[in-house]
Amino acid sequence: MRAFVSPLIAIGLTLPGSAWSGASPVAMNGTDAQVATNLGQGANAGGLHVSLISGRRFGVTTPVHILTFAGANYRLAIDLARHAVDNGVQTPSSMCRTTRGCVAAVNGDFFNLTPPGRPDPADAVGGIIRNCVILHTPQISHQQVDLQAHTVSQDLSWSTTIDVNGASVPIDAINQELPMSYVQVHLALSGTLLYTPAFALKVPAARGRVTYYFAHVGGTTSPTRINTTAQLELVATTTKSFKVAPGHIAISAPRTTALATLATRDVATMSTVSSAGCDNIGGHPILLDHGVVAAIDPADTFLMKPYARTTIGWTASGATVIMTVDGKDGVSGATAGQLVALLQSLNVVTAIALDGGNSTTFYAEGRVLNRPSRGKERPVGTGLLVVKN
């Protein structure tokens, strides 16, 4: 599809319905300067606002959509396709419509797609912590954003270990769809892998490995809740693939780990630690970090050429800014440098890019407001929602 190029003026869109009552739209008079001024002064303390602004002074000629809010009336929420890890793909608009209180949505992190004709689990590349529970650990080193602390990092900080008869067994990954394969990345089934009921697929099986099936005892919180310990009772061992039931976890490991010393009904202690915060999702690249412009690799053509983009960021006063730029891969949209300039013009000091290109979607007011690259909204693995408290 050809790139959509159009002269833009900045307009304010007040979103209707009870979810938007009390909103305080940013005053605008045809330039994005008013958006920046209001954000810098901590405007929108009680409401949420959507704007269409011009990026022409930064060389961006495609539509730029902005969503802003501050205060306690709204919050960001991470959603998964059909509310489970590796459960195929779903459009951001559908995620929003099936989530109570959701008023807006954009696409989330980058994700892996399997070859045509095979099931499409849409495995996220980065880590996911939602409501203080680790749902997914990064497939590779991947930038992350803490949605509560408004901070960015180069990777997800986490560790999970199982205490087995005095020996400590480290967990290498949580809820990862393995083996996996995408451009320049090919990972075989290896390491000690943990799966929870949030994982939509069956626990993988391979020669030389065994799966230990535990019941979660002595607590009601999720076993992978950060900065907690959990008591696990072994109920079975198997070499077959199966789906994890509620109240249980499965650990797939080589036969040589200390887990092999456990007998049925033995109890082990699992500890999970993370400084990443209770709501964390992956993205690439980090654009701004407390006012400092992040270095951009000139060899990364995805960042140096114009593409459709989705970003999340915050101003110094704590206002949340979600921005999308329409475009066509390598032809129109925004480069990483142009994204930084646009964000700085809105007084954003910390920001990260989410998945872009064909995935870029801006859903609000009950409809998709941007023009996706392929002419229609693309189903994705994760979404970032705006939910009314």
The C-alpha atoms of residue 389 and residue 74 are separated, in whole angstroms, by 5
- With beta carbons less than 8 A apart as the criterion, state whether 369 and 362 touch: yes
Helix (H) or strand (E) holding 261: none
- For the record, the structure tokens of 357 come out as 């290109």
Q: Name the domain count of the chain.
A: 2
Give which of 211, 207, 201 is closest to 114, Cα–Cα.
201
Quick check: is 2 in a domain? no
**Selection from 139, 161, 262 nearest residue 212 by Cα:** 262
- Provide the domain limits for residue 349: 11-78+279-388
In a domain, 182, yes or no: yes
Q: One digit per residue, pLDDT tens: the chain, 389 residues?
A: 323 223 233 333 333 332 333 233 333 333 455 555 455 444 445 689 999 999 999 999 999 999 999 999 999 999 999 999 999 999 999 999 999 999 999 999 999 876 666 666 788 999 999 999 999 999 889 999 999 999 999 999 999 999 998 899 999 999 998 765 556 666 677 899 999 999 999 999 888 999 999 999 977 689 999 999 999 999 999 999 999 999 999 999 999 999 999 999 999 999 999 999 999 999 999 999 999 999 988 999 999 999 999 999 999 999 999 999 999 999 999 999 999 999 999 999 999 999 999 999 999 999 999 999 888 999 999 999 999 99
Which residue in the block uniquely carries the two structure tokens 């991947």?
Answer: 142
Cα–Cα distance for residue pair 44/46, rounded to 1 Å: 5
Whether 173 and 73 map to the same domain: the answer is no
**Is 246 found in the same domain as 336?**
no
356 and 265 co-located in one domain: no
Domain boundary residue, one of 273, 308, 337: 273
The pLDDT value given to residue 221: 82
- Asked whether residue 323 falls in the same domain as residue 339, the answer is yes
Closest CA to 244 of 216, 266, 221: 216
Is residue 69 within 8 A of residue 317, CB to CB? The reply is: no
Residue 380 located in a structural domain = yes
Same domain for 223 and 287, yes or no, is no
Instruction: Look at residues 233, 160, 155, 217 and name the one whose alpha carbon lies nearest to residue 191.
Output: 160
Do 20 and 65 lie in a common domain? yes
Domain boundary among the residues 241, 273, 305 is at 273
Query: Taking Cα atoms as reference points, which of 175, 263, 281 lies closest to residue 223?
Result: 175
pLDDT value for 193: 96
**The pLDDT of residue 77:** 98
174: which 2 tokens? 């949580």
Q: What is the pLDDT of residue 49?
A: 96
CB 260 within 8 A of CB 210: yes
CA gyration radius for the chain?
Answer: 22
Q: How far apart are CA 164 and CA 260, in angstroms?
A: 9
Q: Model pTM?
A: 0.88
Task: Answer yes or no: do 302 and 341 share one domain.
Answer: yes
The pLDDT, as a whole number, for residue 30 is 37
**Same domain, yes or no: 315 and 258:** no
| Same structural domain, 199 and 258 | yes
Q: Domain boundary residue among 231, 253, 273?
A: 273
Q: What is the model's pLDDT at position 177?
A: 82
**362 and 301 co-located in one domain:** yes
State the pLDDT at residue 27. Answer: 30
Amino acid at 3: A
Gap between the Cα atoms of 29 and 44, Å rounded: 17
With beta carbons less than 8 A apart as the criterion, state whether 247 and 179 touch. Answer: no
Sheet holding 280-282, edge to edge: 133-136, 128-130, 280-282, 144-146, 151-153
The reply to whether omega before 179 is within 30° of 0 (cis) is: yes
Q: Cis omega (within 30 of 0) on the bond before 285?
A: yes
Q: Which residues pair with 173 in a beta bridge?
A: 193
- 167 and 217 belong to one structural domain: yes
Shared-domain flag, residues 258 and 308: no
Contact 53, 345 (CB under 8 A): no
User: Is 99 a member of any domain?
Assistant: no
Look up residue 365 and give its two tokens.
């007011």
Q: Are 286 and 143 in contact (CB under 8 A)?
A: yes
